[in-house]
Amino acid sequence: MELINSFLPAIKTFGDWGYWIVLLISLAEALPFIGLILPGSILVAFFGLLSAQGYLNIVNLIWFGAAGAILGDGIGYYLGTKGVGFFSHENKILKLSHLEKAEEFFQKHGNKSVLLGRFIGLLRPIVPFVAGLSKMDKKTFLFWNVIGGILWSATFLLMGYFFGSALPAVEKWSTGAGILLFSLLVLIIIIPIILRRKNR
């Protein structure tokens, strides 16, 4: 908590820029190039935590995060329509193995893969690319993209928000009550060991 509090004065100066930062992170995290190395979900969840501290509005954050995610997947879809030239065995980031896994996932789950793939690690920024490559219907892609973008944004921002809300309780438990609970746990583990040795 102390570490977070040390960052808050600097973050407070962002003001409304915080919403645009979340939008940019969400957009970059969905791109085939940057999304493979950027921990966008973690960064977005961190802004949810800041919202719980009263610095940003959680509802506005969700909408900005969703807008970025939807736009990022849209760009990925467009790049996919231009072919597979971006991926190669020599490329350390855009590996052909990533593309192959995404293609298998897309074939298995069909149109819903645009929604499901958003929540799966390395597949997240590649599935929209595969959707474009497979010439998925634009309206169908847009439908699943919008639903997925809103759900993804809400999920990670609310995770951060609820964690931030729970921090005061965690602090309390880490003092007196936490020490007492830990001591009881240690006794429960140690006493049976001592009794077994005595019986031996």
Which tens digit of pLDDT belongs to each residue from 149-166? Answer: 999 999 999 988 888 776
- Give CA torsion, residues 25, 86, 74, 134, to 10 deg: -140
Mean pLDDT of 180-192: 57
Contacts of 25 (CB under 8 A, 6+ apart): 38, 40, 43, 44, 47, 65, 68
Give me the domain span that covers residue 90: 2-172
So what's the pLDDT on residue 1?
46
pLDDT at 196 over 80: no
Q: pLDDT tens, 36-93?
A: 677 778 888 889 888 888 888 999 999 999 999 999 999 988 888 876 666 655 555 5
3-state secondary structure of 72: helix
Q: How far is CA 174 from CA 1, 14, 163, 166, in A?
A: 11, 31, 15, 12
**Residue 125 within any structural domain of the chain:** yes
Asked whether residue 192 is domain-assigned, the answer is: no
Q: What is the DSSP letter of 111?
A: G
Mean pLDDT across the stretch 93-107? 68
Percent of the chain's residues with pLDDT above 70: 66
| Residue 191: inside a domain | no
Segment 177-182 mean pLDDT: 56
- Is there a domain that residue 84 lies in? yes
Mean pLDDT score across all residues of the chain: 75
Please give the tally of structural domains in the chain.
1
In a domain, 181, yes or no: no
CB atoms within 10 A of CB 61: 26
Amino acid sitting at position 45: A
Residue pair 186/87 in contact (Cβ under 8 Å)? The answer is: no
Q: Average pLDDT of 126-153?
A: 87
pLDDT at 125 over 70: yes
Question: What is the C-alpha separation between 25 and 102, in angstroms, rounded?
Answer: 22
16 assigned to some structural domain: yes
Residue 91 in tokens: 């490329």
Per mean pLDDT, which of 11-20, 63-72, 170-179 is the most reliable?
A: 63-72
Q: How many helices (H) and strands (E) does the chain have?
A: 9, 0
| 180 found inside a domain | no
Residue 14 maps to a domain: yes
Nearest to 33 by CA among 86, 69, 81, 70: 86
| 0.75 exceeded by pTM | no
